[in-house]
Amino acid sequence: MYNPLKSIKWKIALCCIAILTSNGFSQQSYEKHEFVYEIVNGHEIKANIFLPDTKDNYPVVVYFHGGGFIFGNRDEGLENVLRDKLLAHHYAIVSADYRLAPETKLAEILNDTRDAVIWLRTDGTKHFNIDADKIAIAGGSAAGYLALSTGYTVSPPPKVIIAISSPTGFSNENIQKGDESVLKQPGPYDIVKDTIVSYGDYSTRMDLWRFLARNRLALSEIFGFDVSQDTARLQNYTLTKNIQTGFPSTLLLHAKNDHLVDLSQAEKLNVFLKEKNIESELFVVENGHSKELINNNPDAVEKIIQFLDSHLK
């Protein structure tokens, strides 16, 4: 079994950056570091960490980018408005890549999210002013599911989980797998090679996601099996089949008019968590999915800060 801590090649790049107000005056400064938290078959998987420009040890928010498990990256996945607000409230923020589907299947993607937290707790505390006992995991869209999964894949689990516009239940109801022969035709699938991808550009990788979704092949390419047929195997990835008492305090943010993930998914998970006596809150806005929700709803960002403060400070 792969152990990231035995084969890690630790790398770091440092820059000090000033956050500017609309008038161009420096509001606060912070440090940005890039590091490798895992190496798989020679491929480096990286993350950025942003630190308030002081010497104190701070709680850490680990943010995984969205992108349907297929596209996205650490540089574009974390919204500036959320990053800046967290820094202003003295949180360190880690924006982490993970291996992408379909080159890597969901089981291994989940391992990456786990290993990022392991690295922070073991090596990260040696290099950064962070409090590894105060970790929150957050993510938008598909990465909200990844964040929620750390509640049972990471031991000990994080203190807080924040899931934004997240799919919270996998079902094969009304799912029919498409014809795989289209994968052999010229098109977006041509970029898929026998390699590892962990930094996905938004244009070609999004085209790939749309192509697979349109041809009813996205789920089988992400999971690595036919979810329309293998109900038992699908249960391994179902949150409600894995969440137990002791799951972290959870904040779910969702829009009434989310065009990709229906609000009912968040509502059902919120009820499930409460029935398990797990602290859970559902914060609902009118519109927006993941990035749009964060950028267009300042009250949602304030809610995130409030929730974090109440559990990590």
Instruction: Note the pLDDT of residue 8.
Output: 44
Q: Average pLDDT in the 228-238 region?
A: 92
Cβ atoms of 66 and 72 closer than 8 Å: yes
The tokens for 167 are 């799919």
Strands annotated E in the chain = 12-20, 26-40, 43-52, 58-64, 92-96, 130-140, 160-164, 249-255, 280-285
Task: Collect all residues with Cβ–Cβ distance below 8 Å to 185 and sequence separation of at least 6.
Answer: none
The pLDDT score that the predictor gives to residue 27 is 57
- Report how far residue 257's alpha carbon sits from residue 47's, in angstroms, rounded to the nearest whole number: 32
List the domains of the chain with CATH numbers.
12-312 (3.40.50.1820)
Structure tokens at 230: 């293998």
64 phi/psi in degrees, rounded to 5 = -105, 135
Give this prediction's pTM.
0.92
User: What integer is the mean pLDDT of 184-190?
Assistant: 96
What does the H/E/C string look like for 99-121? CCCCCCCHHHHHHHHHHHHHHHH
Task: Write the pLDDT tens digit of every residue in 1-57.
Answer: 334 443 444 455 545 554 443 334 345 678 999 999 999 999 999 999 999 977 789
pLDDT of residue 255: 98
Choose the weakest-confidence range: 8-22, 138-152, 158-172, 271-285: 8-22
| Weakest mean pLDDT among 25-29, 95-99, 263-267, 307-311 | 25-29
Instruction: State the virtual CA torsion across 294, 295, 300, 303 in degrees, nearest 10.
Output: 90
Helix (H, G, I), strand (E, B) or coil at 198: coil
| Residue position matching structure tokens 């052999």 | 184
- Across residues 225-239, what is the average pLDDT? 92
Measured between its terminal Cα atoms, the distance across the chain in Å is 37
**Mean pLDDT for the stretch of residues 175-179:** 90
**Amino acid at position 125, single letter:** T
In this predicted model, what pLDDT tens digit does every residue of 248-281 receive, in sequence order?
Answer: 999 999 999 999 999 999 999 999 999 999 999 9
What confidence score (pLDDT) does residue 12 get?
52
